[in-house]
Amino acid sequence: MISYILRRIAGLVPTLFVLVTLSFFIIRLAPGNPFDQEQALTPAIRANLDAAYGLDRPLLEQYGRYLAGVVRGDLGPSFRFKDFRVTELIASGLPLSLTIGLAAAALALLLGVPLGAWAAWRADSPLDHALMTATLLGVVLPGFVLGPVLALVFGIYWPVFRVGGYEPGDASFLVLPVVTLALPLIAYIARLTRASMHEVLQSNYVRTAQAKGLNPRTILLRHALRPALLPVVSYLGPAIAFVVTGSLVVESVFGLPGSGRYLVQGAIDRDYSLVMGMILVYGVFTLACNLVADLLYAWLDPRVRLS
């Protein structure tokens, strides 16, 4: 197991190298310059800015210097946020984005799996149809619709939670953002669990356990749940990465100072180093989530050999 983990971690290096390389050159294909403004700069000022940030160097030299900085853990200065390094900007917003995303994933797992298993156990019953209809609504409703609706209901008509801004240490500001991110994920996990559990419950060993007179709860929890979770685990790795990296809409709706805003703002401002830093951080997090999902998959199914 340890050798497998080490090999997978070593395999992340070429993947990240390709990601950084493609991002570096693709972002520079966009028209414009980080210092373009409504009022054009004089050639002398423009030349000084390019020299200060190394943009006057040949492109391959810029690329080499950026790779050297990444190896040292330095993602460079931001072109638009003066006097700030990219690592400082990311560090200021990433903890909040991670908190929201991981809390949403945990809530989705705690609710989605029991709902899906319950629906499979009561297959083709009115309860099953009602749950699957509700989860279908959760799948099709996007966050930019669900967030404002929840803010309107629970922040205006029934003022229970905070709907804007953020104060460190006050969890009431995070309830609605977490729920907004979690609801679609709950729907996906419930539908996956229901389909997988329904298939497992039709297998021969489950029928044998039922014929022996085992308690239905024992059959469900000890014999059927573990193999039924395999598709959920396969989905959970990229899903967690998605809710963490895709929380930009939720952060915008609820006015949260997360890291997602830096990616979009950096792209609009052509802040090369900031966009590259966000892509690198999100890439590392996505690959780490997939690695954890693979390890959980092997733990749930001993037939999987990590060799």
Q: 101 with 38, same domain?
A: no
Q: 56 with 104, same domain?
A: no
Q: 60 with 97, same domain?
A: no
The type of residue at 116 is G
Side-chain-side CA neighbours of residue 118 (13 Å): 13
Counting the structural domains of the chain, the total is 2
CB atoms within 10 A of CB 238: 13
Q: 134 with 30, same domain?
A: no
Q: 141 with 266, same domain?
A: yes
30/27 Cα distance (integer angstroms)? 6
**Mean residue pLDDT across the chain:** 83
| Residue 306 located in a structural domain | no
Q: DSSP string covering 90-106, please?
A: HHHHHHHHHHHHHHHHH
pLDDT tens digits, one per residue of 252-264:
788 888 887 787 7
Structure tokens at 108: 């989705």
pLDDT category at 45 given cuts 50, 70, 90 is confident
| Residue 83 located in a structural domain | no
pLDDT, residue 304, reads 63
Which has the minimum average pLDDT: 36-40, 224-228, 229-233, 280-284?
A: 36-40
How far the first Cα of the chain sits from its last, in Å, is 8
Q: 53 with 134, same domain?
A: no
Enumerate the β-bridge partners of residue 77: 85
Going by C-alpha positions, the residue among 74, 69, 79 that lies closest to residue 46 is 79
Q: Is the pLDDT of residue 211 over 80?
A: yes
175/166 Cα distance (integer angstroms)? 11
**pTM score of the predicted model:** 0.81
**Residue 177's domain is classified under what CATH number?**
1.10.3720.10
pLDDT tens digits, one per residue of 231-253:
888 888 788 877 877 677 788 78
Q: Is the pLDDT of residue 111 over 90?
A: yes
Domain region containing 148: 93-300
pLDDT, residue 271, reads 84
54/45 Cα distance (integer angstroms)? 14
Q: 52 with 199, same domain?
A: no
Q: 133 with 275, same domain?
A: yes
The sign of the dihedral angle between the CA atoms of 268, 270, 271, 277 is positive
Going by C-alpha positions, the residue among 244, 290, 207, 276 that lies closest to residue 100 is 244
pLDDT category at 41 given cuts 50, 70, 90 is low
pLDDT category at 21 given cuts 50, 70, 90 is very high
Q: Is the pLDDT of residue 307 over 60?
A: no
269/266 Cα distance (integer angstroms)? 5
| Residue 119 located in a structural domain | yes
Q: 135 with 207, same domain?
A: yes
129/239 Cα distance (integer angstroms)? 25
Q: Is the pLDDT of residue 306 over 60?
A: no
Q: Which residues of 280-297 are buried (b: 16+ CB within 10 A; e: fewer)?
A: bbbbebbbbbbbebbbbb
Q: 115 with 239, same domain?
A: yes
Side-chain-side CA neighbours of residue 6 (13 Å): 3
Structure tokens at 279: 């892509």
150/142 Cα distance (integer angstroms)? 12
pLDDT tens digits, one per residue of 266-305:
878 788 888 888 888 888 888 888 888 878 877 777 666 5
pLDDT tens digits, one per residue of 136-174:
888 888 777 888 888 888 888 888 888 877 777 778 888
| Residue 189 located in a structural domain | yes
Q: Is the pLDDT of residue 202 over 90?
A: no
pLDDT category at 107 given cuts 50, 70, 90 is very high
